[in-house]
Amino acid sequence: MPPLQKEKIQEIVEKYRSFALISEEDAGEDVLLAKEALKMILEDKGLKVYQFPRQSEELQNKWSSILPEGKDDHFSYSTSILLPKNKINVKEISYSNDNEYFSINIDSKNKEIAEEDVIFKSHPASFDAAFYFTSKNSQINEEYLARLLKTMILPAKEEILIMAPNDETISEKIFNIGTAVEPQAKMENTLLPHLLLASLMIETNNFEEKINEKTFELASTLLKMGADKQIIDKSLGETEDDSFIRLLGRALARTFTNESLKSVWTFISLNDLKRTDNDKPATAVFCRIIHRIRRLVNHQPVFILLWQTEEGIKAIIEGRNNREDFLKTMKNLLSAKEEKGVLLCGPYKNFSEAEINIQETLKKVI
């Protein structure tokens, strides 16, 4: 982390009391886990922190072994109760508190207050500073930010720190923030090393991409601080049961390379799923398979996995190099959905239709 950025972060953390942690809607788990780590760092300083969007149930369930308990309930909300002066002549206002209710008591001179007389007005949450997590060219998505500003008040742009991977991974950035505001010893044997190592493993595809001396140095440091790689492997699905191994074997047997289109293709049929005891597996299972294939066949930039469902043929597409531009172009041409760094498209009527459609699209991109 450059010294000027470190000083800026230290200044903001010391100066302000409330922070918004914002991630974009298509943020991957590496970003979401790093954001959780930053939340812990700031809350440990006694600061008020709120995440946008809030932590999903899917993320909580998958990473329950390393995520802190509880939800995003640390930030207070502000609501006003309005009484029209032309209807209510207020004499006195008091309150009482019992085991069931916090009561606001209003004495009026001219009439009893009816339900239709009361107006509730919610005030948008207001934050002194913000961290904006993005993987897209280190820039804020102005359209997304405009939608958020309808429900909250954010500081000026210069008080919004952009967290984007460039020469550093996102986990390196958060680790450096942690050491800038807290002694490293205070972070040891907490959940922070687990969260940061998990984020690092996801972003580097289990240390196969975006790696350098600093990346491995951080991984070593996190392990020494108490991060448990076995726990993380389990949540990532790196520990493989018999049915997954058998399905992976069938997938490898149906994998071939298309040299002209610089791509690797894998086909999985309904029969493959049934014979390996994989009844309607989640998309994450096929993502795990394509990641394993990438480790074995690493000389092509594009990986495509087609699998058969009762509704038709679905596909996962993943690009190795210049992934962001590649995915954006393919997404538009195929009307696909982007999810956690891959494209999902289909269903197609059959394997032939899916293959032809994707091949024709690749010819325009490769």
**What letter would DSSP give residue 366?**
-
Q: Look up the CATH architecture of domain 3-65+126-185.
A: 3-Layer(aba) Sandwich (3.40)
**pLDDT per position as a tens digit, 295-349:** 787 678 899 999 999 999 999 998 865 456 777 888 889 988 887 678 999 899 9
Specify the 3-state DSSP secondary structure of 145: helix
Does the pTM surpass 0.75? The reply is no
Closest C-alpha to 218, from 233, 234, 198: 198
Q: Identify the pLDDT of residue 252.
A: 93
| CATH number 3.10.310.30 is the correct assignment for the domain at 242-365 | yes
SS3 48: strand
The backbone torsions φ and ψ at residue 68, rounded to the nearest 5 degrees and listed phi first, read: -65, 150
Is residue 44's pLDDT more than 60?
yes
User: Dihedral through CA 37, CA 213, CA 219, CA 183, nearest 10?
Assistant: -60
Question: Measured at the alpha carbon of residue 274, what is the angle toward residues 268 and 279, in degrees to the nearest 5?
Answer: 95
Instruction: Report the C-alpha gap between 324 and 291 in whole angstroms.
Output: 17
The total number of residues shown for the chain amounts to 366
Identify how many contiguous H helices and E strands the chain contains and give both numbers: 14, 16
Nearest alpha carbon to residue 250 among 293, 283, 281: 293
Q: Give the range among 21-30, 169-178, 266-275 with minimum mean pLDDT.
A: 21-30
Can you tell me the distance from the alpha carbon of 130 to that of 204, in angstroms, rounded to the nearest whole number?
26
Average pLDDT, the chain: 86
Contacts of 350 (CB under 8 A, 6+ apart): 312, 313
Helix (H, G, I), strand (E, B) or coil at 100: coil
pLDDT > 70: percent of the chain = 94
CB 258 within 8 A of CB 266: no
pLDDT tens for residues 104-150? 888 888 888 888 888 888 877 889 999 999 876 677 888 888 888 88
User: What's the pLDDT score for residue 77?
Assistant: 67
Domain chopping of the chain, boundaries: 3-65+126-185, 242-365
pLDDT at 89 over 90: no
φ, ψ for residue 143, nearest 5 deg:
-65, -45
Q: Are strands 102-108 and 90-97 parallel, antiparallel or unpaired?
A: antiparallel
% of the chain beyond a pLDDT of 90? 35
